[in-house]
Structure 1
Amino acid sequence: ANSTGSVHGTPYWMAPEVINESGYGRKSDIWSVGCTVFEMATGKPPLAAMDRVAAMFYIGAHRGLMPSLPDRFSSAAVEFVHACLTRNQHERPSALQLLDHPFVKGRQ
C-alpha cells in the first residue's frame, strides 16, 4: 500500500487480508506461496482468466472460493495449495507447519 492507502501490485497472488487491508503479515506470504505453486503446476496463477480488478474483488469477497489444482496432480499437491489458500489467515498454516507437509517432504 502507498501513502494514499491504495493497494498496488498484481492481485493474482494477493491474500484477502492484503486486498482488504485488514492486517497482514507472514501468513499473507503463505497465500502467495500457494498461488505460486498453483502457477508452477498449471502455468497460470489462480483466477488468471479474470481481469485484475475482477480477481481482486473475488479474492477480497469472503464467499469467493479459490480454485483447486486439477485432479491430475497428487493429492498432496492439491491439499498443499488448498491449505495455503485458506481464506482466514488465522487458520492458514505457518511456514513451519508447511515444511512438515507431505507435498514438501516428498511423500504422496
Structure 2
Amino acid sequence: MTVLEDLPAVAGDSERLAVVSGSGRQYEVDLRAETCTCHDMLHRRPDRGCKHILRTLFSVGAKPIPAWADLDAVDSELGRHTRGDVLVKTQHGKTEVFTRD
C-alpha cells in the first residue's frame, strides 16, 4: 500500500490522505475522524481501524512501529510520499526515527 497526500481527492487537507492498494484501488483516510472509505471500515468498523488507517498512521509518524515488529520486513516505501518521519519504538520504550541500515 502506498500513502499519498497530494492526490486531487485529498490535496490541501493535511488530515486526509489517499491510500492506494496493491491492486490499484484507492481509499481515502481521514485521520481527524479516524475513518476510511474501504469496505472493512464501512461494514465491520474494527476497533483499531482498518489496515489503511494503520498504514497511514505509521507513514506520517502519528503512530510508531511497535518494538516487536521485524524491521527488516518494513516496506521500504513506507513514508516515502508523506511529510513527517516514520517512527519506531525501541526495546527500551523510546521512540526513534526509523532508518534503514
Length-normalised TM-score, structure 2: 0.28
Q: Which has the higher contact order (CA 8 A, sep 6+)?
A: 1
Give 1 or 2: higher strand fraction: 2
TM-score (norm 1): 0.27
Structure having the higher helix fraction is 1
